[in-house]
């Protein structure tokens, strides 16, 4: 399924991805050569530094910054040429602007202001890579538009393969020529390969999720200076087993394997790839936590909505919180095993029920359509995720 903000349904839409029609081919990865650490993230005395050596940026509150100059719109607007049309909520009819007026304030320390020029300079001659589902695309587009504000000739930034920004299969790679930098997005909702099941599989098995084989695009991820992964929204019974998407290891489909165990095994596969293909002395690896959804009064396909929210609310409870807890628990353990960084945005994002596109879809979207209470308006909440990402980079560089 093409995850699109043009005809986009939330990532909770129960359909096993259909673009992966064959088992991923075997890919031979180049040998990782051990070199001294050469990171693009050099120390700089010209930017605001983190106030402490360590800080739990995920614990805090949203603070209103004022009605006249919303903090996100100081950075970029919906005119950013690399925004998916479905994320341009005001252009799609949203009238209120309060969702733009909030800034995240950690409880125990100050959050450095995002400095696009500094991050571009640190990233010269490098690659920034996002890997995951369409929420990961939300995150990627936010960073692209933030960085673009520090580029004098914005028209010089281009998609390397000539793909339109509305292309939702495969990958997108934006080049910032003045800095010899690419910022890339790879659409892999499961991270692992998805394809046809083995010939001997029962007829109920329509597709196989290869929990022991990372997606074939992983050959493109190796060598990046900064990697940001995400997963979780597609790992549910409704989007896998109920639709005939079962889990495969080796040459056999294991029809008794449940979703949680499959997710654990897929993360172990991801971890092996990090250990074997990523030199952590040269690359920074983050795995972002679960992004909460805010459907009220029903699920995405049964009347769930969020258009009535114009202010942040309380933390979630019940099933949604339970889902994010087990996903985050597994991700945290996986990052600890390989020395990657767990980027925790869940608790800070839970109150932001007001930040979704809801019914503000772009002109031409099919009608009737479900409200989108999974993705995020841009500018908006993912900008704060990138503030955290930038702050963590400064902390890691300081050490």
* CA pair distance 250, 246, nearest whole angstrom: 13
- Residue 283 token pair: 């690359």
Q: Where are the alpha helices (DSSP H) in 193-254?
A: 218-221
Catalytic residue among 372, 374, 383, 392: 372
- Residue 180 token pair: 């010899």
* CA pair distance 198, 230, nearest whole angstrom: 28
Q: What is the DSSP letter of 201?
A: S
* Residue spans of beta strands (DSSP E) within the chain: 60-64, 102-106, 127-132, 158-159, 171-176, 181-187, 192-195, 207-214, 226-229, 245-249, 252-254, 284-288, 341-343
Q: What is the DSSP string of 12-72?
A: TS----SS--SPPPP-PPPPPPP-----S----TTSPPPSSSS--TTSEEEEE--SSS-TG
Catalytic residue among 71, 375, 383, 392: 375
How far is C-alpha 340 from the geometric centre of its chain's CA atoms?
16
Q: Is 372 a catalytic residue?
A: yes
Give the Cβ contact number of residue 254 at 10 Å.
16
Catalytic residue among 58, 123, 134, 218: 134
76, 351 Cβ separation under 8 angstroms = no
Q: Is 134 a catalytic residue?
A: yes
Strand 171-176 to strand 158-159: parallel, antiparallel, or no bridges (unpaired)?
antiparallel
Q: Which residues are tagged catalytic?
A: 134, 372, 375
């Amino acid at each position: 399924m093409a995850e699109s903000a043009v005809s986009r349904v939330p990532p909770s839409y129960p359909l096993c991805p259909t673009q992966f029609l064959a088992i991923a081919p075997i890919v031979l990865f180049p040998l990782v050569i051990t070199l001294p650490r050469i990171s693009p993230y050099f120390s700089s005395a010209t930017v605001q530094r983190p106030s402490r050596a360590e800080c739990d940026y995920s614990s805090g509150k949203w603070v209103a910054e004022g009605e006249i100059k919303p903090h996100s719109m100081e950075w970029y607007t919906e005119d950013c040429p690399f925004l998916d049309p479905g994320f341009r909520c005001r252009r799609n009819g949203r009238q209120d602007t309060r969702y733009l007026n909030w800034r995240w304030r950690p409880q125990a320390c100050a959050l450095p202001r995002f400095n696009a020029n500094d991050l571009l300079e640190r990233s010269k001659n490098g690659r920034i890579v996002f890997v995951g589902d369409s929420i990961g695309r939300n995150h990627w587009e936010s960073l692209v538009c933030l960085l673009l504000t520090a580029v004098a000739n914005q028209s010089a930034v281009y998609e390397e393969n000539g793909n339109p920004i509305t292309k939702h299969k495969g990958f997108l790679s934006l080049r910032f020529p003045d800095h010899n930098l690419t910022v890339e997005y790879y659409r892999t909702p499961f991270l692992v390969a998805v394809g046809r099941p083995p010939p001997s599989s029962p007829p109920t098995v329509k597709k196989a999720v290869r929990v022991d084989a990372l997606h074939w695009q992983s050959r493109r991820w190796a060598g990046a200076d900064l990697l940001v992964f995400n997963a979780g929204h597609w790992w549910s019974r409704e989007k896998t087993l109920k639709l005939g998407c079962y889990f495969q290891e080796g040459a056999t489909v294991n029809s008794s394997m449940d979703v949680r165990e499959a997710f654990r095994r897929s993360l172990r596969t991801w971890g092996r790839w990090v250990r074997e293909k990523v030199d952590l002395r040269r690359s920074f690896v983050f795995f972002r936590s679960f992004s909460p959804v805010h459907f009220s009064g029903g699920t995405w396909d049964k009347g769930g909505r969020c258009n009535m929210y114009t202010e942040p609310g309380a933390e979630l409870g019940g099933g949604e919180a339970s889902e994010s807890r087990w996903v985050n628990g597994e991700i945290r353990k996986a990052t600890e095993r390989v020395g990657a960084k767990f980027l925790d945005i869940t608790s800070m994002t839970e109150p932001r029920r007001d930040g979704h596109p809801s019914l503000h879809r772009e002109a031409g979207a099919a009608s009737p359509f479900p409200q989108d209470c999974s993705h995020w308006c841009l500018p908006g909440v993912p900008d704060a995720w990138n503030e955290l990402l930038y702050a963590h980079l400064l902390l890691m560089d300081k050490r």
